[in-house]
Structure 1
Amino acid sequence: MSMRLAGRTALVTGATSNIGRAIAEAFAREGAYVAVSGRSAERGQEVVDGIRARGGRADFVRADLDGSAAASRALAQEATRVLGGRIDVLVNNAGIYPHATTAATDEKTFDQVYAVNVKAPYFLTAAVAPAMVEAGGGAIINLGSWISRLGIASPLYSSTKGAIETLTRAWAAEFGPQGVRVNAISPGVVLAPTARETRTAEIMMKGTPAGRMGTPEEIANAAVYLAGDDSSFVHGIVLDVDGGRTTAAVIAH
């Protein structure tokens, strides 16, 4: 065990399942004290218990990040308290994925998706980053998506992830000179699909160098890199961890 994050504290949103859970577990494995955040106390405690059983440090902090500045500020304050007074690493992972075409998207759905996927991390970063600056530095990792650059018929979600990737670069310019590194990860198809969705998800990764779906742990490995000192000279990037989906095409012979 390398313990690359020993002595650091981290807040991971949407950490009760899939990618967020894998990131929280990887951070704890590398020595960080992790605030596992999500809506479900039951699932959150399950993640915390698993981390503790393996010798790591974690606590659950419930949050319903509805996009309001108040909800984001409340999470920042409670996580800071739980973690002993500071947050060294923030992972903006929580998000929702609507299954709707443009014409079928009503205004309520549009507002909800932007609230959760863009407004919530915006105001959470606004609450956390200044404290990082005051403490002498920190790292913020946002979760983008490959479909923000390789167009598929999911316009609402894609546009929110495009916004997050743009914010990553803007925040790097704003906070980087003050000691806070801001970067993003753009995962490929790594969801744990239902039986009905498995074939579609697998097909989406055909013709890529990897030729398969990714795992949450593979995204978590990238998050550990961006959170630690190995990436000390890395600012404002969107790291593609997508099996080559957006960069290369493999022609079958």
Structure 2
Amino acid sequence: MCDVGDPAQVDAAVGAVIDKYGRCDILVNNAAVFPFTDLHHVTVELWRAVQAVNVEAILLFARAFAPGMRAAGWGRIVNAGSGITATQNRDLAYLTSKGTVHALTRALANELGESGVTVNAIAPGLVAAEGFLGRDRAGRPSAEEVPARITAMQTIRCRSVPADLAGALAFLVSDDAGFVTGQILHVDGGMTRTGA
């Protein structure tokens, strides 16, 4: 268990992986926090906490594991982006962080591509996962209203579950995806078919 918002815990987790396995070949950055913020209510402390977990942790893990991937001439980094955009949601800190994740994914792909390391992101819609469902939204739409609104924008009109992302992830970390890098793969039931 690791609080990725704490650089010291990230360092400890990296050390444990290196001690046990020598290096990391496949890195999946999937930790995120999703507080419901708007311009009026967001605090600097909350803003920084969201960026620390959703963005900074990706940088820290990539920086720690990239040398081993480069030395091996092979590596896969997959980041959790988001298919939910500002046209569909008003969660200021979260949306900003995920836009940054997409940009960081492309920047890392630029830097690591020549060494045999690919860097991509999966951009899901709203996934029915424990971290989101049933939360107290403090005056915002209920935990059932938001999924219904997102699902209505999809061409595949059912709620996404974590297993829906597994095939895309398996592809991106495989040798079959060796010529795929810097991409944001939308796995969102067709929600982003008109842009984004």
Given the two structures, how large is their TM-score scaled by the length of structure 2? 0.88
- Residue from 134, 148, 162 that aligns with 1:216: 162
Distance 1:99 1:205, change over 3 A: same
State how 1:44-55 maps to structure 2 within 5 Å.
Answer: none
Identity %: 35
- Residue from 169, 173, 176 that aligns with 1:230: 176
State how 1:62-211 maps to structure 2 within 5 Å.
Answer: 62-68=1-7, 70-82=8-20, 84-148=21-85, 150-192=87-129, 193-194=133-134, 196-211=142-157
Task: Tell me which of the two structures has the higher relative contact order, counting C-alpha pairs closer than 8 angstroms and 6 or more residues apart.
Answer: 2
Please say if residues 67 and 119 of structure 1, whose CA atoms lie closer than 8 Å, have aligned partners that are also in contact.
no
Q: Deviations over 1:48-71 (max 9, x none)?
A: xxxxxxxxxxxxxx2111242x33
Please say if residues 84 and 126 of structure 2, whose CA atoms lie closer than 8 Å, have aligned partners that are also in contact.
no
Deviation, structure 1 residue 103: 0.9
Segments of 5+ residues of structure 1 without an aligned counterpart are 1-61
- Please tell me the residue identity of whatever aligns with 1:122: L
Deviation, structure 1 residue 72: 2.4
Q: Deviations over 1:50-98 (max 9, x none)?
A: xxxxxxxxxxxx2111242x3323221212223x212110001101011
Please say if residues 10 and 60 of structure 2, whose CA atoms lie closer than 8 Å, have aligned partners that are also in contact.
yes
- Aligned partners of 2:148, 2:157: CA distance in 1, in Å? 9
Segments of 5+ residues of structure 2 without an aligned counterpart are 136-141
- Aligned partners of 1:159, 1:146: CA distance in 2, in Å? 12
- Please tell me the residue identity of whatever aligns with 1:138: G
Distance 1:111 1:124, change over 3 A: same
Which stretches of structure 1, 4 residues or longer, exceed 3 Å deviation after superposition? Answer: 148-151
Deviation, structure 1 residue 248: 4.1
SS at match of 1:205: helix
- Please tell me the residue identity of whatever aligns with 2:180: V
Given the two structures, how large is their TM-score scaled by the length of structure 1? 0.69
Deviation, structure 1 residue 151: 4.7
